């Protein structure tokens, strides 16, 4: 009779890990599952793989958010958008200063300034990026719904409204990126680590339950299946031992 004893206790708690190292550990556990294991253990390994895929997807979302449009890029898009609206308003204001008796469109230019910008002028350009885009989009909707494009193009030139629409499309993409980032940046990675740790423990518990004390083959299979956890903990222990000790802080003389 075999005297080898298998202790399941070390596998009843999740090892210390980050989400990245936890994903690597879970992948290693799935790969290490012996082919001779019964179907129920392979099914548990598949569930662990699914949990790992979910965790990796959340990590990818977070990384994508952190690596999205830079502050400098946002500033450039904002400046271009502000400039396009300033150019149109300035063009219409300049035309409105012409003598209406000689240039009939001067009156219409003044009316368009009021219709498009009202008493607040370009003050909306000082708001947050989403508010700026929403206000600009509302103005463009007013232009389209009221059929103002022909008058604007005739008085200011078609380039001005065309420029606004091009900058507005890029501004909208920037705002969407910001909103997505705001949503993704708050992915709770700590919760994902806990969930993945729980999935690892659940799998390890089922592997431990496979062990029969009087069957050395089941002990060998369990040790092989759980070896990635042992190696993971060993690596953490070695890293802790080799980490440099902080230099002592000398007391300051009052």
Residue 249 in this model has a pLDDT that exceeds 80: no
For the chain, the average pLDDT equals 87
Contact of 155 with 95, CB cutoff 8 Å: yes
* Segment 91-129, tens digit of pLDDT: 999 999 999 999 999 999 999 999 999 999 999 999 988
More confident site: 77 or 59: 77
* Segment 154-181, tens digit of pLDDT: 999 999 999 999 999 999 888 877 766 6
Cα–Cα distances (Å) from 223 to 48, 196, 198, 235, in that order, read: 18, 21, 20, 17
pTM higher than the cut 0.75: no
Structure tokens at 22: 């936890």
* Segment 169-214, tens digit of pLDDT: 999 888 877 766 655 555 567 888 999 999 999 999 999 999 998 8
Query: Which residue ranges make up each domain of the chain?
Result: 16-65+191-236, 71-184
Mean pLDDT of 44-61: 89
Instruction: Write phi, then psi, for 107 (nearest 5 degrees).
Output: -65, -40
Contact of 29 with 200, CB cutoff 8 Å: yes
Confidence grade of residue 1 (pLDDT, cut at 50, 70, 90): very low
Mean pLDDT of 12-40: 93
Instruction: Write phi, then psi, for 212 (nearest 5 degrees).
Output: -115, 125
Residue 70 in this model has a pLDDT that exceeds 90: no
DSSP 103: -
Mean pLDDT of 84-89: 97
For the chain, percent of residues with pLDDT exceeding 70: 86
Instruction: Write phi, then psi, for 69 (nearest 5 degrees).
Output: -50, 130
* Alpha helices by DSSP H, 118-188: 129-145, 149-156, 158-184
DSSP 123: G
């Amino acid at each position: 009779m075999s005297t080898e004893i298998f202790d399941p206790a070390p596998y009843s708690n999740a090892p210390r890990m980050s989400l990245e190292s936890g994903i690597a550990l879970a992948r290693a556990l799935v790969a290490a599952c012996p082919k001779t294991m019964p179907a129920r253990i392979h099914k548990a390994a598949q569930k662990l793989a699914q949990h790992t895929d979910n965790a990796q997807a959340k990590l990818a979302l977070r990384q994508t958010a952190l690596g999205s449009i830079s502050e400098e890029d946002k500033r450039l898009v904002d400046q271009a958008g502000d400039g396009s609206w300033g150019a149109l308003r300035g063009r219409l204001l300049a035309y409105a200063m012409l003598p209406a008796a000689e240039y009939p469109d001067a009156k219409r230019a003044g009316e368009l300034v009021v219709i498009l910008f009202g008493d607040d002028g370009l003050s909306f350009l000082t708001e947050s990026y989403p508010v700026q885009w929403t206000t600009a989009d509302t103005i463009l909707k007013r232009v389209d719904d009221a059929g103002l494009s022909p008058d604007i193009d005739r008085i200011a030139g078609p380039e001005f409204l065309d420029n606004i629409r091009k900058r507005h499309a890029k501004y909208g993409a920037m705002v969407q990126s910001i909103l997505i980032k705001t949503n993704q940046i708050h992915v709770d990675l700590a919760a994902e680590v806990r969930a993945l740790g729980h999935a690892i423990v659940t799998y390890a518990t089922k592997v431990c339950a496979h062990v029969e004390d009087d069957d050395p083959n089941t002990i060998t299979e369990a040790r092989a299946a759980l070896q990635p956890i042992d190696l993971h903990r060993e690596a953490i222990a070695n890293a802790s031992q080799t980490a440099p000790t902080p230099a002592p802080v000398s007391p300051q003389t009052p």
